[in-house]
Amino acid sequence: MNSYERFCFRILGERAKKRREEFLSLRNNLLRGRISTPFEAYLATAWVSSFLGGFLAAAILGLLSFWLRIPEMITYKGTLPEFMYGMSDYRLVAGTILTFLLALLIIGGIIYLIFMVYPSVVAGERRRNIDATLPYAINYVTAMSTAGITPAEVFSLLGDSPIYGESSVEARYITREVRVFGKDLMDAIRVVSTVTPSERMKEFLQGAVASISAGSNLTEYFRNKAQQYTLENRQSQKMFLETLGLIAESYVTALVAGTLFLIILQSIMSIIGGDTNPFLLYIVIYLIVPFGSIMFVVLISSMTPET
């Protein structure tokens, strides 16, 4: 924890401890994301940060509203209750207070929501990275096991190989459970398998535990899993390339040929009709083309597997 998180924990840590059962999903996501901040400190930091951030933003917006006299610019021509007319002289102060409260609730709520969602985003990114690097990590594990290296040392070597990304991180946690907490290898693998965000890694680790418990050949299990995940990885890459080709065809059809057709058609119609303000043409050029392109970029980025 840094100094700010310790400060927040001292203020609201005890209250956060009493809410552990209400935030089970957040606790699991903190573990899956390998976020080092304890749950109580993280929740306390979320509370304090949402209040401070919301209060600061609300103070700035309230001062701007008062300084620019924005509430006095708002007029209402409908009928109002009689007592509302008597408060019209105080609408600047009332509007400023209302702006402050709304900004405090909205911006503070957004900051709090970001804190709640962030661990799940980190866990999701780790899951994608593990799924992408797991076939190569298992090939490495298979090679080490074939050379006669013990399973505990195999996971230790995998953890020392950063080229395998988050798969190496999971291996380092297995080694930590063995060397720091004194657990045997089976218990260490079982602990890590319960908190890993990747279902493929969980299946692999649970299969390794079952293989060790049954006394079967662990090297052969590694080799079979390496072949399985390599085949699945090739199939997923093939499906991704086919989907990418379909998206590219849709982009060319919808945002290249389609928009060019609309621009040409609208331009001709504007010339024929003498329209000096072709509103639809502006929509196509300034809204549909840029936002459609951004949509395709975001779609492809979200689908692209980790490299």
Q: Highest mean pLDDT range out of 10-14, 175-179, 257-261, 287-291?
A: 175-179
Sign of CA pseudo-dihedral 77, 80, 82, 88: negative
Read off the pTM: 0.75
Alpha helices in the chain (DSSP H): 3-17, 24-32, 39-68, 70-73, 82-86, 91-146, 151-159, 166-179, 185-195, 199-214, 218-251, 258-273, 279-283, 289-303
Closest CA to 123 of 43, 25, 29, 27: 29
Of 156-170, 224-238, 268-282, 285-299, minimum mean pLDDT range = 268-282
Whether residue 86 has pLDDT greater than 80: no
**Is the confidence at residue 49, as pLDDT, over 90?**
yes
Residue with the larger pLDDT of the pair 229 and 84: 229
Burial of 31 (0-12, 13-18, 19+ CB in 10 A): middle
pLDDT at 252: 87
Mean pLDDT of the chain: 84
